[in-house]
Amino acid sequence: MKLVTLLSMTVMLVLMACGGDALPEDSMQAFVDAIKSGDGATAASYISSYGLSDLDVQLVAIQENPEMSVTYLAAMGVEATESEIADWTSEDLLAAFFSSPGMVEELGDKLDLVINGSEIDDSEAVVFITTADGREEEIEMILEDGVWKLYEMPGN
């Protein structure tokens, strides 16, 4: 009985330690689902730190002119105050964009994709997808903080 209890506890600890999405394609699906539902914070959490660093220049430009940025962002459907913008990180900026009402509309059928599996090589992976228009593409993923994330921003 003690052995069964010990084994059960060990399995539970291993599962808890793994955390995150077990496979890269799970993260890819979670990313797409988050965008479709307007959950920008969750969608942004599936972009790697390298991918987020691509937004650093845009973030600085937005923060340097907050009054104009509030107006510009509002036109895109992103509600933010000047004080909020001053405290944003690149992930916050991306979350705001992914939460905007026009994001799903702008992305259109790019979100209608089929995930065909992945190949994993240590902490890197490639997810194979088929787009709505039948194109096959490969999405690079990286394991970061125990979660599979898109290496770059989609479209880069």
Is 21 part of any domain? no
β-pairing, 114-121 vs 124-130, is antiparallel
Is 79 part of any domain? yes
Is 117 part of any domain? yes
Is 6 part of any domain? no
pLDDT-based confidence at 140, cuts 50/70/90?
Answer: very high
* pLDDT: which is higher, 83 or 103: 83
> How many domains does one find in the chain?
1
Give the domain extent around 88: 28-150
Is 38 part of any domain? yes
Question: Residue 81 is encoded by which pair of tokens?
Answer: 């105050």
Confidence at residue 114, expressed as pLDDT on a 0 to 100 scale:
95
For 123, half-sphere exposure in the C-beta direction (CA atoms, 13 angstrom radius) is: 7
Q: For 59-98, what is each residue's pLDDT tens digit? A: 999 999 999 999 988 988 888 999 999 999 999 999 999 9
